[in-house]
Homo-oligomer: A and B are copies of this chain.
Amino acid sequence: MGNLNIIISNASEKPLYEQIKEQIKSAILKGDLENGELLPSIRNFSTDLNVSILTVRRVYDELEREGFVSSKAGKGTFVLAGNKDLLEDTKRVLIEEKLIDLVTLSNTLDISIEELHKMLDIVYEEV
């Protein structure tokens, strides 16, 4: 079975449902969760994560809307990861969103592209 270790924190500024959603999404994008794989039932997952059923339901709802999983009453929630190109695209878009954010801030603060590259290397070593 796939690797699915979800770590959530009430201390985080991000809502619980978003933390869970992002981690499942990452697992699918990395390939840890394969096509057709069955995710935990809403009830089991909510007790495992110690969150409300409604929170897990929201996660599954949004993942379904975004095309990552498919839920069927009476059967469960399954991973949809058939199109490899789509997954690569999704990864690229997620990174690009953060890069745009970063470059925008750099511009407003008069930081050069060279400095950015240097700082990127430094941060990459530390993380």
Contact = CB atoms under 8 A, between A and B. Distances in A.
Contact of A108 (B26, B98, B102): B26
A104 interface: yes
> How many copies of this chain?
4
Contact of A96 (B65, B117, B123): B123
A82 to B, nearest CB: 11
Interface in A68-94: 70, 72-73, 75, 91-92, 94
Nearest to A80: B11
A96 B119 contact: yes
Interface string A13-33: 001000000000010011000
A1 interface: no
